Structure 1
Amino acid sequence: MKTLNFGLPKGSLQESTIDMMKKAGYTVRVNSRSYYPTIDDDEITIRLIRPQDMSRFVEKGIIDAGLTGADWVKEAGSDVKVVVNLVYAKQQLTKVKWVLAVPEDSEIRSVQDLNNKSIATELVNVTRQYLAEKGIVADIEFSHGATEAKAPALVDAIVELTETGSSLRANKLRIIDTIMESATQLITNHQSWKDDWKRTKIENLAMLFEGAIIAREKVGLKMNVPGDSLEKVLKQLPALRKPTVSTLSEGAGYAVETMVDQSIARNIIPALIRAGAEGIIEYPLNKVIL
């Protein structure tokens, strides 16, 4: 039987990725002592791989496809096929940023002030390229971790990944520039992409993953509407697509079903009731395939 070798990002993205895959229809189970999770699809084998290493293993064909950040693909300089960008992170549905930061009381106010200064980061190659484009010469050293704690005692500045900025603020650091934004990417190597079976399998994953992410910000609404209230109710619905309207038996009115952003459902529901809707049901979604 043919199988697709798939790389699951180990570390901060691991749990949110497993949750996303569950919404997409795949149950992944991880044993804390094993780098080989199980999945309820006999056509897929999974290996846990650090996001920093993922693109290199994909490029070499050691694994067929995997999920990692655009930042690590750029850092490694890997020649891979980006199948789809998936905007989700550890805490929320958003891109993450690599930022240049200095202590709050530092005299460094801009990138130009970094000439002949020292910078700690895990994103060495991207940082070096960024500074070169700015015409800045600085000492860039690789940071193995706890980067926020290294300024000002050990280095003048840091380049660090942030999702909300809370860790930087807690360590009294001030952002002076954003080096790059990054999102999770589903990547594959060119050889696997040329294989018709593997390409179809990867495209299926991309479709389902994207649908699961879109669904996290949407909810479904179902309601009954008397015949004389239908027009007023429909005017209250900012649907992703036109609502589904079907006739109830015995001329009792209409059944209306639609999908809306979760953030506005709480405002729409009272307006729907006032417009004449009855028996409103709000329900979560697993996947939204556009």
Structure 2
Amino acid sequence: MSELKLGLPKGSLEKATIELFEKAGWMIKPAARNYFPKIDDPELTCSICRPQEMSRYVESGMLDAGITGKDWTLENESETVLVGDLVYSKVSRKPTRWVIAVAGDSDIKTLEDLEGKKVSTELVNVTRRFFEEKGINVDIEFSWGATEAKVVAGLVDAVVEVTETESTIRAHGLRIIHELMESNTQFLANKDAWNDPWKREKIESMFILLQGALKADRIVGLKMNIAEEKLDDIVQLLPSLNAPTIANLYNQKWFSVETVVSEDVVRDLIPKLIKKGAEGIIEYALNKVI
């Protein structure tokens, strides 16, 4: 039997990724201190890897496909196939941002003010290329962690750090002077695996279902019964992907109406539907929208 080797990101995205796969149709069972979780698909084997290393493993063929950030693919200058973006995060569903930050009371106001200064970051290669393109000479050192604290302690003049909400940046009293880049989660494939017809079809099918699970996030189904004379007025209230599904109820001048709407619309919509005469309203969660 053919088998696809899949890499899952360790760390902050691990839980969210496993939950996404569950919505897409795969049950992954991680085990304590085990980097090879079980998955209920005999055609897949899983490995959990640090996002910083994922693109290298995919490029080398140790993995056929993997999920990691665009930032780390650029950092490693990996030659992989981009299957597509998977825009999700534990906080916001927005791309993460790599920013250049300095101490709140620093005299550094612009990028040019960093000439000859020391910058700490985990994203060394991307940062080095950025400053070289700008023609600004900086001393870049690799950070093993707690990057923001190094500015506070006076060990460096600036940091290049990733943020979603800027809360950690602000908590350390830092000030952002420039946004270096945006990054989001991506699904990558090894070039040889992509050229293998069976593996490519498996990867593409997986991506379709993962995207469907993401589209279903914060979208719900609504189903209700509506009397014939009230149908047109109520249907005008209903948002939908295309148009509501309407079916006759047996031997009655009533209709069953079903639609898909954004979750944040429902709280205002249901009271309006009731006032217009909708009955038996059911709200239900969705796993995938494709």
Same fold (TM over 0.5): yes
Deviations 1:125-159 (A, max 9, x none): 11112212222111111001111111041101101
1:104-253 equivalent positions in 2, closer than 5 A? 104-152=104-152, 153-253=154-254
Amino acid at match of 2:247: S
Q: List 4+ stretches of structure 1 deviating above 4 A.
A: none
Amino acid at match of 1:172: G
Aligned to 2:6: 6
Aligned to 1:94: 94
Q: Whole-Å Cα distance in 2 between the matches of residues 230 and 137 of structure 1? A: 69
Deviations 1:67-103 (A, max 9, x none): 0001100111011111010101132322111111111
Deviations 1:11-44 (A, max 9, x none): 1111110111111111111112111011011110
Deviations 1:169-218 (A, max 9, x none): 11111111111111111100111011111011101110111111111121
Aligned to 1:51: 51
Deviation at 1:61? Answer: 1.0
Aligned to 2:284: 283
Aligned to 2:33: 33
Q: Whole-Å Cα distance in 2 between the matches of residues 109 and 229 of structure 1? A: 62
Deviation at 1:274? Answer: 2.0
Q: Whole-Å Cα distance in 2 between the matches of residues 230 and 252 of structure 1? A: 10
Q: Whole-Å Cα distance in 2 between the matches of residues 107 and 271 of structure 1? A: 56
| TM, length-normalised to structure 1 | 0.97
Q: Whole-Å Cα distance in 2 between the matches of residues 266 and 92 of structure 1? A: 21
Q: Whole-Å Cα distance in 2 between the matches of residues 34 and 6 of structure 1? A: 15
Q: Is 1:255 the equivalent of 2:263?
A: no
Amino acid at match of 1:233: I
**Secondary structure at 1:21 match in 2:** helix
Unpaired segments of 5 or more residues in structure 2? none
**Residue correspondences, number:** 289
| TM, length-normalised to structure 2 | 0.97
Q: Whole-Å Cα distance in 2 between the matches of residues 81 and 275 of structure 1? A: 52
Q: Whole-Å Cα distance in 1 between the matches of residues 81 and 224 of structure 2? A: 44
Q: Is the 8 A contact 2:222 2:258 kept in 1?
A: yes
Computed over aligned residues only, the root mean square deviation of the Cα atoms, in angstroms, reads 1.0
Mean Cα displacement is larger for which, 206-215 or 91-100? 91-100
Q: Whole-Å Cα distance in 1 between the matches of residues 91 and 285 of structure 2? A: 19
Q: Whole-Å Cα distance in 1 between the matches of residues 282 and 134 of structure 2? A: 55
Q: Whole-Å Cα distance in 2 between the matches of residues 129 and 265 of structure 1? A: 47
Q: Whole-Å Cα distance in 2 between the matches of residues 130 and 263 of structure 1? A: 40
Deviation at 1:275? Answer: 2.2
Amino acid at match of 1:139: D
Deviation at 1:277? Answer: 1.3
Aligned to 2:270: 269
